[in-house]
């Protein structure tokens, strides 16, 4: 029996649907670059701000990159959802601003895990502690 994606708060669900419905498809290379750039930016900020959770950001980045590695195995809707996960991570001003809170990357991890399960790649979800 397939796993059910973990539930998400209504505001995050709404944002994900907006991204799914309104963003043009980008290439896997472009998405990979966006994800990597956001992690690099996070590392730079974290070097001066001990409250930025670089460890969680790296876990989210790794999961996004693993999802992108599986890109070719999925139909178009699955690829679109992976794009949504990457775009959500690459935006710092999402439901919980990445740099304004010690839990800033928790929502990003929730989104990546939700989408990993949604597209049938739960093995690529970020393990819970």
pTM: 0.94
Structure confidence at residue 111 (pLDDT): 96
- Judge whether residue 19 has pLDDT over 90: yes
Stretch 14-28: mean pLDDT:
96
| DSSP per-residue string spanning 16-60 | HHHHHHHSPP--HHHHHHHHHHHHHHHHHHHTT-TTS-HHHHHHH
Q: What is the CA radius of gyration of the chain?
A: 14
- Judge whether residue 1 has pLDDT over 70: no
Please give the share of the chain, as a percent, with pLDDT higher than 70. Answer: 98
Cα–Cα dist 29/95, whole Å: 26
- Determine contact, residues 107/85, Cβ cutoff 8 Å: no
28-42: pLDDT as tens digits: 999 999 999 999 999
Structure confidence at residue 129 (pLDDT): 65
Structure confidence at residue 4 (pLDDT): 82
- Judge whether residue 93 has pLDDT over 80: no
Please give the share of the chain, as a percent, with pLDDT higher than 90. Answer: 82
Structure confidence at residue 99 (pLDDT): 87
What integer best gives the mean pLDDT of the chain?
Answer: 93
- Judge whether residue 107 has pLDDT over 60: yes
Residue 56 CB partners (closer than 8 Å, separation 6+): 105, 106, 108, 109
Q: How confident is the model at residue 2 (pLDDT cuts 50, 70, 90)?
A: low
């Amino acid at each position: 029996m397939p796993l059910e994606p973990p539930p998400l708060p209504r505001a995050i669900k709404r944002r994900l649907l907006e991204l799914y419905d309104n963003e043009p498809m980008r290439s896997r290379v472009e998405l990979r670059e966006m994800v990597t750039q956001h992690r690099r930016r996070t590392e730079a900020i974290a070097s001066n701000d001990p409250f930025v959770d670089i460890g969680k950001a790296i876990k989210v980045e790794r999961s996004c990159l693993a999802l992108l590695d599986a890109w070719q195995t999925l139909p178009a809707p699955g690829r679109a959802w992976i794009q949504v996960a990457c775009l959500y991570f690459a935006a710092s001003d999402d439901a919980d601003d990445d740099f304004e809170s010690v839990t800033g990357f928790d929502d990003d991890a929730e989104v990546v895990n939700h989408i990993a399960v949604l597209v049938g790649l739960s093995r690529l979800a970020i393990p819970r502690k």
